[in-house]
């Protein structure tokens, strides 16, 4: 009996040793995979560090953050995967002073992974956009927590044909989001001209100007209220390609810096119609390569030559069209995919570009190009239900459609 007991004890110790060896190997492999993950993240977002020491510190912090297992409110919570938005699995924040994965509003990030380990990151660039503020980190933690809970609650309900998701705006309040990402002025008197197929019978069932090569890649307006300029330029790029056969990325910065003599005021907002008028009066608009986007008002560079003004002969079934929408809601803020039919008003505050339309499962939608980077929505685009039964359309999309004319 004693001999059998001894064998059982030795066997148990042997099994424990195997488990420990396995865990050590697993941790080593996991560390390697996290290092590769960090390298991939650096390449994806164009992240540069001051020196090798800063990079190594951040990698170590990322490992500690990911592997740390905390207990909060009596429940066990697994820490976030550092640096990657898409892999966030939990809804609560405990061991973090701030989340270094979705863009930050702070001049510094402090990640506390244990009472003795503190990681500091001077600035984090996400999609080439820097968010900084001096707000207390405790407030940001609460904002992020509330946003994640809102997103998960909506998705769990499962009663809409679209989903919300954690993105680079997850640390912002709705008001901050509005200040950073909108820019359509509200002093303009909008006339309701329904964005429908009125008096037109011979049109295709669906059209996607992306597939026809008339839509440039998604851009990012950053912390500048220049959505109106991006919408104006996207529509102009579209008709220029349709007319000439050449897709050329045009300059939003020229509008931001130079179209300031009327109601358009750069990062302080403007109108697409006025943007088109500026292009016509200016004799054209230059390329993005000649006048790259800076995300600030700047001083107009009058020495840059303008390109040919694009012409237009129709609406959306002929070309991309600038439209205005009411985007001041959490559903727009965290839209992640599907056909959007969320609750929204008609208080127009954001300029975008309709680049097509289609039908999925008997549900019609517009294909809309946004200017919030590829990390938002469906790689920067949103499919919106037209709201064809209402004269103003869903989110007011039918109230203010415009395009360049000659």
Of the ranges 58-62, 104-108, 154-158, which one carries the lowest mean pLDDT score?
A: 104-108
- Give the whole-angstrom CA distance, residue 161 versus residue 138: 34
Cα separation of the two ends of the chain: 100
Residues 83-112: tens digit of each pLDDT = 222 222 222 222 232 233 333 232 223 333
Fold of 173-396: Cathepsin B; Chain A (3.90.70)
- Give the whole-angstrom CA distance, residue 317 versus residue 25: 59
Q: Give the model's pLDDT for residue 127.
A: 28
Q: Which of 61, 95, 119, 227 is catalytic?
A: 227
Residues 235-254: tens digit of each pLDDT = 999 988 988 888 999 999 99
Averaged pLDDT for residues 214-218: 95
- Give the whole-angstrom CA distance, residue 228 versus residue 196: 22
Rounded (to 5) percent helix, strand, coil in the chain = 35, 15, 50
- 340 has a pLDDT exceeding 90: yes
Q: Is 227 a catalytic residue?
A: yes
Residue 338, H or E segment: strand 335-340
Q: Is 350 a catalytic residue?
A: yes
Q: How do the domains of the chain map onto residue ranges?
A: 26-154, 173-396
| φ, ψ at 358 (rounded to 5°) | -170, -170
Cα within 13 Å of Cα(350), Cβ side: 26
Residue 322, H or E segment: strand 321-325
Give DSSP secondary structure letters for 192-259: ----S-TT-----S-EETTTTT--PPP-B--SS--HHHHHHHHHHHHHHHHHHS----B-HHHHHHH-
Task: Choose between 113 and 11: higher pLDDT.
Answer: 11
168-171-177 Cα angle (round to 5): 75
Q: Is 61 a catalytic residue?
A: no
Q: Which of 331, 370, 392, 395 is catalytic?
A: 370
Task: Choose between 20 and 172: higher pLDDT.
Answer: 172
CB atoms near residue 104 (< 10 Å): 24
């Amino acid at each position: 009996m004693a001999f059998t007991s001894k064998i059982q004890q030795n066997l148990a110790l042997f099994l424990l040793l195997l488990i420990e060896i396995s865990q050590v190997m697993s941790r080593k492999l996991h560390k390697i995979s996290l290092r590769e993950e960090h390298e991939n993240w650096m390449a994806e977002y164009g992240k540069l560090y001051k020196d090798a020491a800063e990079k190594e510190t951040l990698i170590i912090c990322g490992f500690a953050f990911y592997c740390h297992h905390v207990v909060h409110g009596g429940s066990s919570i697994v820490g976030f995967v550092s640096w990657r938005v898409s892999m966030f699995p939990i809804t609560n924040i405990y061991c973090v002073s701030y989340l270094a994965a979705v863009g930050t509003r702070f001049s510094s990030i402090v990640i506390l992974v244990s009472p003795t380990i503190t990681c500091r990151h001077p600035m984090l660039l996400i999609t080439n956009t820097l968010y900084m503020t001096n707000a207390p980190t405790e407030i940001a933690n609460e904002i992020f927590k509330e946003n994640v809970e809102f997103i998960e609650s909506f998705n769990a309900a499962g009663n809409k044909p679209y989903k919300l998701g954690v993105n680079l705006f997850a640390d912002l309040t709705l008001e901050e989001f509005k200040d950073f990402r909108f820019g359509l002025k509200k002093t303009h008197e909008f006339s309701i001209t329904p964005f429908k197929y009125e008096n037109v019978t011979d049109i295709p069932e669906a059209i996607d100007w992306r597939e026809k090569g008339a839509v440039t890649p998604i851009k990012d307006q950053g912390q500048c209220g220049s959505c109106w300029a991006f919408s104006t330029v996207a529509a102009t790029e579209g008709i220029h390609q349709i007319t000439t056969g050449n897709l050329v990325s045009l300059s939003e910065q020229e509008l931001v810096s130079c179209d300031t003599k009327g109601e358009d005021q750069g990062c302080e907002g403007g109108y697409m119609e006025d943007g088109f008028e500026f292009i016509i009066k200016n004799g054209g608009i230059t390329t993005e390569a000649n006048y790259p986007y800076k995300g600030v008002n700047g001083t107009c560079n009058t020495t840059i030559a303008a390109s040919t003004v694009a012409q237009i002969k129709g609406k959306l079934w002929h070309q991309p069209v600038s439209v205005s929408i009411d985007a001041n809601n959490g559903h727009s803020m965290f839209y992640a995919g599907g056909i959007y039919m969320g609750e929204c008003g008609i208080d127009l505050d954001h300029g975008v570009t309709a680049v097509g339309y289609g039908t999925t499962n008997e549900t019609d939608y517009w294909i809309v190009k946004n200017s919030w980077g590829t990390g938002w929505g469906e790689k920067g685009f949103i499919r919106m239900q037209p709201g064809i039964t209402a004269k103003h359309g869903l989110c007011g999309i039918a109230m203010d459609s415009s395009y360049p004319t000659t």
